[in-house]
């Protein structure tokens, strides 16, 4: 049930920011979801809806944005992004990566030096890009 944990973290952060800024209500939450993040959007949306009930974020509009993955080669320092994995990989490979992100090292290599050693610097996880509050 990691959608619940993610939703909880998002709402908690949004409410903390609101308090810090001295707001009374959260009116909008903009969430970025990395394309490498495995997430069941229905479950995530449902969890968000349940969790904001009765909080100052209750009537907030929640927007989602999807972030392309960015990789950085450990060997040569080259950074590259891929717009969508499906241009590069087959369906089965994408599914494998979603379940086991470490597998991406088998399928993806540095376009500059061909090394399979890279860090994923973007495109994983879920975070809040911005929120709008009402004072």
Q: Which residues bind Zn ion (CB under 5 A)?
A: 73, 75-76, 78, 110, 112-113, 115
**Strand 70-73 relative to strand 79-81, pairing:** antiparallel
Q: Please state whether 58 falls in left (phi above 0), alpha (psi between -120 and 50) or beta.
A: alpha
Please say which residue, 77 or 90, places its beta carbon nearer to Zn ion.
77
Question: Closest distance between Zn ion and the C-beta of residue 74, in Å?
Answer: 8
Q: How far apart (Å, rounded) are the C-alpha atoms in residues 132 and 74? A: 38
Closer residue to Zn ion (CB): 75 or 81: 75
For Zn ion, the closer of residues 4 and 78 by Cβ is 78
For residue 47, the minimal CB distance to Zn ion (Å) is: 39
- Among residues 23 and 116, whose Cβ is nearest to Zn ion? 116
Tell which phi-psi region holds residue 22, choosing left (phi > 0), alpha (psi between -120 and 50) or beta: left
Report which of 100, 131, 115, 95 is spatially closest to residue 16, judged by C-alpha positions.
131
CB of 120 to Zn ion, least distance (A): 14
* Minimal distance, residue 75 CB to Zn ion, in Å: 5
């Amino acid at each position: 049930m990691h959608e619940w944990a993610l939703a909880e973290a998002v709402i908690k952060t949004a409410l903390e920011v609101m308090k810090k800024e001295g707001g009374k209500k959260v009116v909008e939450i903009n969430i970025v979801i990395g394309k490498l993040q495995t997430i069941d959007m229905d479950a995530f949306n449902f969890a968000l809806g349940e969790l904001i009930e009765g909080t100052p974020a209750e009537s907030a509009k929640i927007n989602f944005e999807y972030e392309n993955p960015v990789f950085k080669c450990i060997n040569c320092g080259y950074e590259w992004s891929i717009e969508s994995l499906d241009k590069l990989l087959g369906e089965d490979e994408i599914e494998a990566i979603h379940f086991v992100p470490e597998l991406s090292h088998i399928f993806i290599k540095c376009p500059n030096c061909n090394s399979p050693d890279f860090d994923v610097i973007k495109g994983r996880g879920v975070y809040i890009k911005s929120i709008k509050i009402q004072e």
